[in-house]
Amino acid sequence: MRINKFLAEQGVASRRQADVIIAEGRVTINGKTAQTGAEVGPDDAVMLDGKLLSHKVRYEYYLLNKPKGCVCTVKDDKTDSPRKTVMDFLPQGAGKVFPVGRLDYNTEGMLLLTNDGDLAYRLTAPQSEIPKTYLVRVEGTVTGQQLNRLRAGVEIEPGVVTKKCKITVTETDKSYTKMHVVLTEGKNREIRRMFEAVGKHVCFLKRIKIGELTLSGLDRGEVRRLSAEEVFYLKNL
C-alpha cells in the first residue's frame, strides 16, 4: 500500500496530513527517507521520527458531540496557551485516533474520530459528496431571494463558488431564522461564508447528521463508540 495510507491506518494522521509529514522527511522505509507515493509491504520497516511503526492495526471509531470552544486537532501547538482539543473528550484507554474533517472553534455537533484512514478519506474526499446536515441559526429573516442564491451556489471568495445545496427553513420570526442546510462538500468555514455572501450573520451552527447517522441523544461533550452496524453504514455511503 502507499505510505500515506499506511500512516493513516496507524492513526498518525489523515492521508493528506500524512503527505505533509512525509514531505518533511520525518518518515523512513528500511532506513531510507520515504518519498511521497512510495509503496510499503508487510516486511518493510517504517519509522516515524525514529519510532518503529507496527503493521498490525486495530481500528477504532468514535462519535463525539463536539461543544464550542475546542479545536479539531490532535494537539493545539499554534498558540502560546494551548486550547482544549477534541482529543480531550475521548475515554481513557482510547487508541491513537484523529478527527475526520473539521468543525471550527465556534461550531458544535457531530464529529467522527478514527484511525481508519480509508474511511476518513471516503468521508472527506470532495468526489464522495457525502451529505452532511447542519442546524443553522441566523439573525433576522431570510428572504426567498437569499435562499435561492444560497441553494444555487454563491461566491465565497474570488473564483470560489459553493456547490448547490438543500436548505429547509424550520423556524422563523423577525429576530431569527432556523434552517437545516445539507452540504456535499466541506470548504473551510463554508456555511458561515455562504451566509455572509448574502448579508446574513450565522449566530449558531451545529452539524447534526452525516448521511443518516445522527448524534443519537449524545449531550454536548459526550462521546461513544460507533456500533458495527454504524461503521458498515458509513463505509457503504
Give the residue numbers marked as catalytic.
104
CATH number (domain holding residue 165): 3.30.2350.10
CA distance 114 to 96: 8
CA distance 167 to 181: 5
Residue 11 clears pLDDT 90, i.e. is over it: no
Q: Does 9 lie in the same domain as 39?
A: yes
N-terminal to C-terminal alpha carbon distance within the chain = 23
Q: Does 197 lie in the same domain as 145?
A: yes
Residue 21 C-alpha from the chain's centroid? 19
Q: Does 226 lie in the same domain as 121?
A: yes
What pTM value is reported for the model?
A: 0.78
159 lies in which domain range?
131-210
pLDDT in tens, 159-172: 999 999 999 999 99
Each residue of 122-151: b (16+ CB within 10 Å) or e? bbbeeeeebebbbbbbbeeebeeebbeebe
pLDDT in tens, 171-201: 999 899 999 999 999 888 999 999 999 999 9
Q: Do the strands 202-210 and 108-114 form a parallel or antiparallel pair, or are they unpaired? A: parallel
